[in-house]
Structure 1
Amino acid sequence: DARGPRKAARPAFATLTAGATGLNVMDRDAGKRTAPVEGEARSSVLGSPLDPRYTFESFVEGPSNRVALAAAKAVAESASRFNPLFLHASVGLGKTHLLQAIAAEAVRQNGKSRVVYLTAEYFMWRFATAIRDNNALTLKEQLRDIDLLIIDDMQFLQGKSIQNEFCHLINMLLDSAKQVVVAADRPPAELESLEPRVRSRLIGGVALEMSAPDFAMRLGMLKLRLAAAKAEDPAVDIADDVLDHIARTVTGSGRELEGAFNQLLFRQSFEPNISIDQIDDILRHMYRSSEPKRPRIEDIQRIVARHYNVSKTELLSNRRTRTIVKPRQVAMYLAKVMTPRSLPEIGRRFGGRDHTTVLHAVRKIEGLSGDDNSLAQELELLRRLISDQA
């Protein structure tokens, strides 16, 4: 989810438009169109720039992102088909790539389309600045005039007043059949920092998960990266078996894969005949692959809910039936022993419960598992399932 550098100076309000020679930046306050310079031509409204590398053509498709990619292309070609579209994934799995591809393609499809791409942090800063300068009304009027709103890193949207403004904005756009696309590192129902009505509006759309790439996808990403490196320097050459080995060794996010490739490229610049064993040493130093990855609380909740045949919504609810209470307590116990999260944080992630509730659940499951061999076996099975998903 890399972002390009912000420019020192940019229009007060810029929107993506298509011109005869590509994308242009339109200063809506001055009513003047600037020349389409490659770096600035892909700047978008409110200052979040687009990276020219992030297109649908450069996005590597696979089982983990195929549905999200199809929805993204549909939205770029025809607004209001899935509205709002919510994409969620862990860091480095291509959310920003897909969002920026939607923005660029929407403008190419329709030169008159007014597209806004920005991060949640920049939205917060821009609104806070407008309120401070008594320009909030002007900013709202400008945002009212757009066709496609794309918000990245929604989990960082903070502050009740800012969230109220955001809720008003998406309500207005959705009611006007304008497209809204949002991305975050977790599903909308798990964005605890958001106001309930903001979460409710996001839940009402289509939420799609993007998971970690499989081996074929990782290998495809490395081959694309190698082709780009060769375009810059024809002397660059990395053997197929080396790429294959990296794809099998680095199994995390696309960002980790990019880091491994860049490290190898750097080493090869002064050590051209690097061996597979040396590559293993490099990667082990970078990623400490011998250390197990810690699972996320949402992974634990999902796997426990599936194991006990209850929904995740029931797990987080206030229902007190035995069929729900036991899975909830088991999930809380596993969240405590398998993640570094504190008791208050676990409580918040389980429907806003108090830390004492979590402590009670942990102690109860600990006590029962010591006397109940079948429960102990269940917990061990769940640990393995959760670890395999981490």
Structure 2
Amino acid sequence: MGSAAHQTFPGADSPKEEPLVKVGKEEWDRVKKRLRTELGEDVYSSWFAGVDLEDEQNGLIILSVSTRFLKSWIQSHYGELLMALWREECEQVRRIDLYVRGAVRPKPVQNKPQAQAANAAGKEGGFTRHQSSMSMGQDHDHLGGSPLDPRLTFDTFVIGQSNTLAHAAAKQVAMAQPGQPVSFNPLFLHASVGLGKTHLLQAIAWEAKKSNSTAKVLYLTAERFMYSFVQALKSQSALDFKDTLRDIDILLIDDLQFLQGKSIQQEFCHTLNSLIDGARQVVVAADRPPVELESLDERVRSRLAGGLVSELQPLEKELRRSILADRASQASRRDPNLAIPELVLDHVAGIIRSNGRDLDGAFNRLMAHNQLTGAPISIEMAEQALKDLIRSKEPRRIRIEDIQRVVSKHYNVSRSDLLSSRRTRTIVRPRQIAMYLAKMLTPRSLPEIGRRFGGRDHTTVLHAVRKIEELASSDNTLQQEIEMLKRNISD
């Protein structure tokens, strides 16, 4: 994408007939104040201090920055937040165009027909699309989908031991042709943040449309699903909304853990049943497996668990290294003079252990320091640039739910078993270990831990802690198991 290309951030629905409200410097000042409050002074100063408001017309906000790097960073990391803050100041804002000062400035929308055409092309679009992706993007937007990023394809997904099964299942779903039996329905992907769930869902959307241009493919976040449903109710078009959803060939729902509201969950359940019964493909992603989505109706959880449930595991070091090597290869193609030593990639892969987003952030930060200061990329520079990203020095806060999930998986029992009153040995020992780890790894009190384990008394938790301490003092195998569980929980 050349410097003259401009950014269209996620927008709202199609233009309405009411007159647009003029926005300008006062609104921009309030947006900047909110950005400073939400991001902190350091982050704001790094990325937004040099952003200027150039113009506004017909709901189009035109902002400018000094470098292509700033533009790219704001696009990829703060686009949705920026759009949301502008919409809070003036709901008629539909697009935000970002360009580099000194480059060719994008022309403002001049009249309503042009505004409608621009909005139709950019509606809900997260990034400037490649020409080959345009028809897919416009078709997807017409259906009311959430933003699709053309970079999130199978070609750019780096495969490793932790995500092989999820990738293979997603690829098979995307490549299925009309008339073929549906293999995994629904396909349910779950993982912590930044491990590739959204990448795989969007990759399915792009690949499925490429494989079958007539297929109706729709990617929605749970938040977008809820918004669309509420809007349909308000406009008395709920039947049309339902008919549209149930005519989709592949429905992809992201961040299902955020789906709230009894009526919305009921509608999702009806849609899910209708699509699956009609041999239409459903793919869902969430931050935990169906059984642990306790805010969802039990019927929804049961139906989701009836397909293929696949977890994307934390990124092993080899995969983190491969991801960084892939980013370095892309950067070197853009700038043949760029030198990124292999030892630096090894070092970053070793110290950034949390997720893929932090890896991308770390790599982008190295590029920023190199481009803005001219300093060569070295281990010393990496340590200075990434000091606030190194999680090993600042362990993340561990939740009791994390402990229960890891212990359940390790001992092949369900989380509901840990919380139940069952007293079989295969459940009692994992339950005691989970309580012990909750006491060791979290600041929670004994009564609070007891409540989180099925409403047990604090004396039960104390007994479990003392029991595991006693056993571990004389059982080296149990000691090693507990240490391994601690590492898995903290990863």
- TM-score normalised over the length of structure 2: 0.66
8 A Cα contact 2:190 2:288, kept in partner: yes
Code of the residue aligned with 2:245 in structure 1: it is L
Code of the residue aligned with 2:9 in structure 1: it is P
Matched, 1:277 2:380: yes
**Per-residue Cα deviation, 1:233-288 (whole angstroms, up to 9, x for no partner):** 44433222222221222222111111110111111111322431232233233234
Distance 1:310 1:93, change over 3 A: closer
Distance 1:256 1:73, change over 3 A: same
Q: CA deviation at 1:101?
A: 0.3
The answer for the alignment partner of 2:84 in structure 1 is: none
Distance 1:123 1:382, change over 3 A: same
Whole-Å separation in 1 of the counterparts to 2:226 and 2:452: 24
The answer for the alignment partner of 2:418 in structure 1 is: 315
Secondary structure of residue in 1 paired with 2:159 = coil
Whole-Å separation in 2 of the counterparts to 1:309 and 1:144: 36
The answer for the alignment partner of 1:61 in structure 2 is: 159
The answer for the alignment partner of 1:113 in structure 2 is: 215
Whole-Å separation in 2 of the counterparts to 1:348 and 1:138: 45
Q: CA deviation at 1:81?
A: 0.9
Code of the residue aligned with 1:54 in structure 2: it is L
**Per-residue Cα deviation, 1:101-129 (whole angstroms, up to 9, x for no partner):** 00111111111111110101110111111
Q: CA deviation at 1:339?
A: 3.3
Whole-Å separation in 1 of the counterparts to 2:381 and 2:14: 46
- Taking the TM superposition and a 5 Å limit, the aligned residue runs for 1:228-267 are 228-267=330-369
The answer for the alignment partner of 1:5 in structure 2 is: 9
Point out the more displaced range, 329-338 or 181-190. Answer: 329-338
Distance 1:307 1:232, change over 3 A: closer
Whole-Å separation in 2 of the counterparts to 1:375 and 1:252: 29
- Taking the TM superposition and a 5 Å limit, the aligned residue runs for 1:1-390 are 5-10=9-14, 37=134, 40-41=137-138, 43-44=140-141, 45-78=143-176, 80-269=182-371, 270-297=373-400, 299-301=402-404, 303-305=406-408, 310=413, 312=415, 314-321=417-424, 323-339=426-442, 350=453, 353-354=454-455, 357=456, 359-368=458-467, 373-374=470-471, 381-389=480-488, 390=490
Secondary structure of residue in 2 paired with 1:54 = coil
Q: CA deviation at 1:297?
A: 3.9
Whole-Å separation in 1 of the counterparts to 2:185 and 2:435: 34
Secondary structure of residue in 1 paired with 2:393 = coil
The answer for the alignment partner of 1:17 in structure 2 is: none
The answer for the alignment partner of 2:77 in structure 1 is: none
Code of the residue aligned with 2:147 in structure 1: it is P
Note the aligned Cα RMSD (angstroms).
Answer: 3.2
- TM-score normalised over the length of structure 1: 0.82
8 A Cα contact 1:127 1:162, kept in partner: yes
1 or 2 for the larger relative contact order (CA 8 Å, sep ≥6)? Answer: 1
8 A Cα contact 1:295 1:386, kept in partner: no
**Per-residue Cα deviation, 1:297-352 (whole angstroms, up to 9, x for no partner):** 455335545776755553344424455344324323422442356889867865xx
Whole-Å separation in 2 of the counterparts to 1:327 and 1:293: 23
8 A Cα contact 2:293 2:301, kept in partner: yes
8 A Cα contact 2:145 2:218, kept in partner: no
Code of the residue aligned with 2:310 in structure 1: it is L
Secondary structure of residue in 1 paired with 2:382 = helix
Whole-Å separation in 2 of the counterparts to 1:336 and 1:46: 47
8 A Cα contact 1:295 1:387, kept in partner: no
User: Greater CA radius of gyration, 1 or 2?
Assistant: 2
Structure 1: which 5+ residue stretches go unaligned?
13-23, 28-34
8 A Cα contact 1:56 1:98, kept in partner: yes
8 A Cα contact 1:42 1:50, kept in partner: no
Code of the residue aligned with 1:335 in structure 2: it is A
Paired residues, number:
363
Whole-Å separation in 2 of the counterparts to 1:104 and 1:227: 23
Whole-Å separation in 2 of the counterparts to 1:53 and 1:135: 34
Point out the more displaced range, 304-313 or 117-126. Answer: 304-313
Whole-Å separation in 2 of the counterparts to 1:171 and 1:39: 26
Whole-Å separation in 2 of the counterparts to 1:185 and 1:11: 34
